[in-house]
Homo-oligomer: A and B are copies of this chain.
Amino acid sequence: MHKVIRLQSYVLDSVRSFFKQEGVVENIFPCLTRGTGACENTSTVFKVEHSQPVFLAQTKQLDMEAAIIKNGISAQYVMGASFRKEPRAGDGRHLAEFTLIEFEAMEMDLAGLCSFQERMLAHVLSDCLAAPPELQEMVGRHVPNCLAKRAKWPIVTYDQVIESLNSKGVSINWGDDLRSSEEQFICFMFDMLPVQVTHFPEKIKFFNMMLDRDGNGDVDKAKAPVGDRQTVACVDLLLPYSGETFGGSEREYDYDILKKRLYDSTMLAQLEAMGGTKDAFSSYLDLFKADTYRRSGFGLGFGRLLQFIMGVSSINETLTYVQ
């Protein structure tokens, strides 16, 4: 465990140095929220005993969006605990609490986001190969190989991935989310390289992810047609061993779409059942009443990044404490 602590500290430094190099400012946001910290799966939100409904944040992305818009900061990151009352704890991939690194930037589109994630991952892997010998011992042999093939890291659409999986006999339907095993098959299909998968169905993604306009991302078009195969401008970066490690998107800029997607979301319904209210989201929604802001961001599970670097099959091996 001693060495894992040192590697973890080294990788944390590497992540921060990348953000610094890219001019991204660190910020701090609260973990205690009135509901705006919930992700897609609200059933895993921890409720805190309090006179008012208070929950433990799973994500700080809405706070991050508000902060960059209000403060005119072009790019920002936050590093802290994310909480999930996780029924899958024990599967080697999920924890009740983990370190989440969140990034949010103005004027960044999906292509810019994919490029940022790719540069960040390459920066960290490159630092790992320059680490002191006692830390390099813990870095998996796949890391130099991945870095050497950086030019070939694939960016594919969800549609392509579903088709490829189906053609290999994996039974998954358009509209289904990817399970851990499928994420690993995808990495395998692409020679165990990092794979960015874009344009997931909107139904399985968070309400703030930008709806794809006419399938070509043209934002000057009128309101998006929300059809059966509506997708969002999102990207999951999958890694061998750990699976989905970065999850991000362009953010929706249209007030009506944002409001409708929030109000229609299972997330909000579940939150209301737990005592939360729509009110918690009103200051967020209000940001978009008068103006549109193009912006993108991601969440990065730090333990999964470490799991990939170490090349271990369970995230528990990256923990520096007993769960």
Complex: chain B residue closest to A85, CB-CB:
B50
Q: Once the chains bind, are B56 and A27 in contact (CB under 8 Å)?
A: no
A5 touches B (CB below 8 Å): yes
Stoichiometry, as copies per complex, reads: 2
In Å, the complex CA distance between A13 and B21 comes to: 13
Given A2-B72, A70-B1, A81-B81, residue A99 in contact with residue B46 (CB < 8 A): no
Interface residues on A, range: 35 or more
Complex: chain B residue closest to A4, CB-CB:
B71
Q: Which of A5, A70, A96 has the most CB of B within 10 A?
A: A5
A120 touches B (CB below 8 Å): no
Chain B proximity of A125: nearest CB distance (Å): 20
In Å, the complex CA distance between A289 and B119 comes to: 50
In Å, the complex CA distance between A78 and B41 comes to: 29
Q: Once the chains bind, are B83 and A80 in contact (CB under 8 Å)?
A: no
A91 touches B (CB below 8 Å): no
A residues contacting B by CB (< 8 A) are 1-2, 5-6, 8-9, 12-13, 16, 20, 25-32, 46-50, 56, 63, 67, 70-73, 76, 80-81, 83, 85, 96-97, 99, 320-321, 323
